């Protein structure tokens, strides 16, 4: 077994042969002639000349040896449903969905927007798109109409796949009214809308546009739809991520590089073996759901659990009961979920037989040491942190125990993964920082590895300008995260360098929230910052200057306005973006040139030193915020 250091070094220095070996982990219709074409940096092109298909690798190729094995395990504690689909049954359902999408006009290169709860039809739709070469764009089911409309306008989907409703904590969330409003707001109109009726909420269909899934599925029950072989560089999907401007970025991913990256990560990182069971507690609306609920485990020939529900309903043992029942070997969750479980009765961790579990992987936001120790001691298995982004598609930093077992360090996501040339650089000078303990920006030198984003959908310029031009004198990919590295090469992530915050694993642009709050008629100015939170990692905190300050003399008026602003954000961006608090001030701290001092506001909120304030125009602005945050009675 090679040392991991040698494995990583070879992935960078002998890139061609290393990735040609990894490419053999998947099926190709035409094998690639070259692993990496980096002739047009920063646009790395992987496995040029090869043709393959994600759905073939996730479903069809397993029919020969494991057709009757469990493939998709659906569990909903919201509707008390449970169903296991074998690879043969999954193959049939995906072909049915592919035939229905084709009948509605979707084909190779067309976009299909998926706005769905965590139900099997959502997975069928993703795999069906991959099968016919359509480009899927999954939007998280909790997003509000305004956010959904921007994504419809950007993706221009021929078909939208949705449902009557989702459910969270037993509360029905109707999707159809949100979708109808989003389509009304959008300048682009889809050709067809395919609707799964779960019987949770009434919905009115738009004649000629809206189609019932059950009806069309019956018509295409026996349809056979072969896989469309795609060039490795063809687009598999786009997924939207918040940026530092209000406009979301469509992260664009390829077919071949993504398939190889996932197959390799399942082997080298996630300890996968065909026939075992994988359980990721994420949502298909996020990149973790794409990579490690749907494609990764299925490519590896594993059963994957699709879970709709909360980690504490019906009780805090629900996840562990599923580990026991389905003999889960690898589990992937988020620190926030573990912090929620930490508040529950610890007896739930001992109630079930968890002997099948090899490791718990955590990602989404920084993992604090007490949480890591609690869950590690409770489960008696390694807890492996990992750090990555929507843009990367798979882990940038973690421990590749499938290559060489190595120790995790609490507080660190780990080491750079094979294929990633990770460095720390000085924010202002671009100088590479090589000494242990130096704080810098975490960057990746090109070419980026397989599975990484190709570009921003329909905007190469934005891709280059956003990610590759932020470090002076260097063309490197910026993660926009601060980090340090210890003497053993382990990295520690210290937070964002830009205005994106991480709330329970969900990346939110503070500018997006500010724009939403600014639409309230009584808001003159607003600043939103991310503030450290013991449960969620970070929460959004808003500071507003009202247009009419006279109405804010008493607490009742303030609370009323705060409630109205919260409602605006709920309606435009969804509950996930709602600030923890909205506070009112007469002015915001700015430099003399008018730049908002967000970092100073954040420091005050977190009880830290606000740093050099010689550039602040009016020091009383920051003092107002300090006074607001003082505990009552001080």
Number of CB atoms found within 10 A of residue 157's CB: 26
Which pLDDT tens digit goes with each residue over 248-279? 799 999 999 999 999 999 999 999 999 999 99
CB 391 within 8 A of CB 261: no
Q: How high is the pLDDT of residue 307?
A: 97
495 lies in some domain: no
Specify whether 432 is located in the same domain as 553.
Answer: no
What percent of the chain is predicted at pLDDT more than 90?
72
All residues at 6 or more sequence positions from 486 whose CB lies less than 8 Å from its CB, including other chains: 409, 412, 436, 437, 492
Cα 344 to Cα 342: distance, rounded to the nearest angstrom: 5
Does 75 share its domain with 207?
yes
Contact in structure between 220 and 99 (CB atoms under 8 Å): yes
Q: At CA 249, angle to CA 247 and CA 251, rounded to 5?
A: 170
The reply to whether 210 falls in a domain is: yes
| CB-CB contact of 150 with 188 (8 Å) | no
> Which segments within 56-209 are labelled E, that is strand?
70-76, 81-86, 111-115, 135-138, 159-163, 165-168, 171-174, 192-196
Is 490 within a domain?
Answer: no
Is 202 a domain residue?
yes
Concatenated DSSP letters of 180-221? HHHHHH-SS--SEEEEE--SSS--PPPTTTEEEHHHHHHHTT
For residue 58, give the nearest of 274, 224, 326, 362 by alpha carbon. 274
Last residue of a domain, one of 409, 440, 471: 440
What tens digit of pLDDT does each residue of 490-547 get? Answer: 999 877 776 777 787 777 777 778 878 988 988 888 889 989 888 888 899 999 988 7
Which tokens in the block code for residue 351? 């109630």
Task: Give me 256's structure tokens.
Answer: 């071949």
**Partners of 306 in beta bridges:** 74
Residue with tokens 């950007």: 154
pLDDT digits (tens, 9 = 90+) for 178-211: 999 999 999 999 999 999 999 999 999 999 999 9
Q: Is the pLDDT of residue 349 over 70?
A: yes
Beta 415-416 vs 421-425: how paired, if at all?
unpaired
Residue with tokens 């074409």: 37
pLDDT of 549 > 80? The answer is no
Asked if residue 366 is part of any domain, the answer here is: no
Phi-psi region of 419 (alpha: psi -120 to 50; beta: other; left: phi over 0): left
Alpha helices in 226-282 (DSSP H): 256-268
Q: 431 and 570: one domain?
A: no
pLDDT given for residue 3 in this prediction: 96
pLDDT of residue 525: 82
Q: Return the pLDDT at 603.
A: 85
Q: 16 lies in a domain?
A: yes
Q: Are residues 64 and 210 both part of a single domain? A: yes
Confidence band of 364 (pLDDT split at 50, 70, 90) = confident
Give the H/E segment covering residue 333: strand 328-333
Across the strands, what pairs with 523?
546
Interval 566-603: pLDDT, tens: 999 998 888 888 999 999 998 888 765 556 788 788 88
Checking if the pLDDT of 243 tops 60, the result is no
Number of continuous H segments (helices) and E segments (strands) in the chain: 21, 32
Strands 383-385 and 359-362: parallel
> Do 88 and 189 share a structural domain?
yes
3-state helix, strand, coil in the chain (%, to 5): 35, 25, 40
111 with 234, same domain?
yes
What whole-number distance in Å separates Cα of residue 158 and Cα of residue 205?
17
Range of the structural domain that residue 571 is part of: 518-629
* Residue-averaged pLDDT of the chain: 92
| pTM listed for this prediction | 0.85
Distance CA 535, CA 531 (A): 12
Helix or strand or coil: residue 91? helix
Q: What's the pLDDT tens digit per position in 87-118?
A: 999 999 999 999 999 999 999 999 999 999 99
End residue of a domain, out of 440, 470, 504: 440
For residue 492, what are the β-bridge partners? 484
DSSP string, 542-607: EEEEES-GGGGSSHHHHHHHHHHHHHHHHHHH-GGG--SEEEE-S---BBTT--B-HHHHHHHHTT
Amino acid 285: pLDDT: 92
Assess whether 112 and 258 both reside in one domain.
yes
Q: Which two tokens stand for residue 452?
A: 């990484």
Query: What's the pLDDT tens digit per position in 428-485?
Result: 899 999 999 998 999 999 999 999 999 999 999 999 999 999 999 999 999 998 889 9
Boundary-marking domain end, from 421, 440, 459: 440
What is the distance of C-alpha 600 from the center of its chain? 28
d(CA 232, CA 131): 14
**Same-domain check for residues 420 and 522:** no
CATH code of the domain covering residue 579: 3.30.300.30
Report yes or no on 242 lying in a domain. Answer: yes
Instruction: Specify the pairing of strand 421-425 against strand 440-445.
Output: antiparallel
Q: Would strands 523-533 and 537-546 be described as parallel, antiparallel, or unpaired?
A: antiparallel
CA of residue 23 relative to chain centroid, distance: 25
Is the residue at 378 inside a domain? Answer: no
Q: 581 and 435 share a domain?
A: no
Q: Which of 113, 111, 102 is nearest to 227 (CA)?
A: 102
pLDDT for residue 613 = 61
- Report pLDDT for 630: 78
Determine the 3-state secondary structure of 57 from DSSP.
helix
Which backbone phi and psi does 51 adopt, to 5 degrees? -125, 140
Q: Which helix (H) or strand (E) holds 517?
A: helix 510-518
Q: Are residues 554 and 429 in the same domain?
A: no
Residue 1 in this model has a pLDDT that exceeds 80: no
Total domain count, the chain: 2
Question: Is residue 262 a contact partner of residue 419, using CB atoms and an 8 Å limit?
Answer: no
Q: What is the CA radius of gyration of the chain?
A: 24
- Let me know whether 424 and 522 are in one domain: no
Q: Are residues 565 and 432 in the same domain?
A: no
Give the per-residue pLDDT at 538.
87
């Amino acid at each position: 077994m090679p040392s991991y250091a040698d494995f990583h070094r070879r992935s960078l220095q002998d890139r061609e042969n290393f990735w040609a070996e990894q490419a053999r982990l998947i099926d190709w219709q035409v094998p690639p002639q070259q692993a990496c074409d980096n002739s047009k940096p920063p646009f790395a092109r992987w496995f040029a000349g090869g043709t393959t298909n994600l759905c073939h690798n996730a479903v069809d190729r397993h029919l020969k040896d494991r057709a009757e094995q469990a493939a998709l395990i659906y569990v909903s504690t919201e509707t008390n449903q449970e169903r296991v689909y074998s690879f043969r049954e999954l193959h049939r359902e995906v072909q049915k969905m592919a035939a229905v999408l084709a009948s509605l006009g979707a084909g190779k290169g067309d976009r299909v927007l998926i706005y769905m709860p965590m139900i099997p039809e959502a997975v069928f739709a993703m795999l069906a798109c991959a099968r016919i070469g359509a480009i899927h764009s999954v939007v998280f089911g909790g997003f509000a109409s305004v956010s959904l409309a921007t994504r419809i306008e950007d993706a221009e989907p021929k078909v939208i796949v949705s449902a009557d409703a989702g459910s969270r904590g037993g509360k029905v969330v109707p999707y159809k009214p949100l979708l109808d409003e989003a389509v009304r707001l959008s300048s682009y109109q889809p050709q067809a809308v395919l609707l799964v009726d779960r019987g949770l909420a009434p919905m009115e269909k738009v004649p000629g546009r809206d189609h019932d899934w059950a009806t069309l599925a019956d018509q295409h029950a026996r349809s056979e739809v072969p896989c469309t072989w795609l060039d490795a560089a063809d687009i598999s999907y786009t997924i939207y991520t918040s940026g530092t401007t209000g406009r979301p970025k469509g992260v664009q991913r390829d077919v071949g590089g993504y398939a190889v990256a996932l197959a390799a990560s399942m082997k080298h990182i996630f300890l996968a073996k065909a026939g075992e069971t994988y359980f990721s507690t994420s949502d298909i609306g996020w990149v973790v759901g794409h990579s490690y609920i749907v494609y990764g485990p299925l490519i590896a020939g594993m059963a994957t659990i699709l879970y709709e529900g909360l980690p504490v309903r019906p009780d805090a043992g629900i996840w562990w009961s599923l580990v026991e029942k389905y003999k889960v070997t690898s589990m992937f969750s988020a620190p926030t979920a573990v912090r929620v479980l930490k508040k529950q009765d610890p007896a739930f961790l001992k109630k079930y037989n968890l002997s099948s579990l090899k490791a718990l992987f955590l990602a989404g936001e920084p993992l604090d040491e007490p949480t890591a120790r609690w869950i590690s001691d409770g489960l008696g298995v390694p807890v492996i942190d990992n750090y990555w982004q929507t843009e990367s598609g798979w882990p940038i930093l973690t421990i590749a125990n499938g290559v060489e077992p190595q120790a995790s360090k609490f507080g660190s996501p780990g080491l750079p993964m094979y294929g990633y040339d990770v460095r720390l650089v000085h924010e202002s000078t671009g100088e590479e920082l090589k000494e242990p303990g130096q704080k810098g920006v975490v960057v990746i030198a090109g070419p980026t590895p397989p599975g990484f984003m190709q570009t921003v959908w329909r905007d190469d310029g934005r891709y280059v300008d956003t990610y590759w031009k932020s470090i002076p004198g260097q063309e490197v990919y910026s993660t926009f995260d601060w980090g340090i590295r210890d003497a053993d090469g382990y990295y520690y992530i210290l937070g964002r360098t830009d205005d994106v915050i991480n709330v329970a694993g969900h990346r939110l642009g503070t500018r997006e929230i500010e724009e939403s709050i600014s639409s309230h008629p009584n808001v003159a100015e607003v600043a939103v910052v991310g503030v450290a939170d013991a449960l969620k990692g970070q929460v959004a905190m808003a500071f507003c200057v009202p247009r009419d300050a006279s109405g804010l003399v008493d607490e009742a008026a303030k609370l009323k306005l705060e409630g109205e602003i919260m409602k605006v954000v709920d309606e435009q961006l969804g509950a996930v973006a709602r600030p923890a608090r909205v506070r009112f001030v007469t002015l915001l701290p700015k430099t003399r040139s008018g730049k908002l001092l967000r970092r100073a506001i954040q420091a005050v909120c977190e009880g830290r030193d606000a740093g050099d304030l010689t550039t602040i125009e009016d020091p009383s602005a920051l003092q107002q915020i300090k006074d607001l945050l003082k505990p009552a009675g001080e």
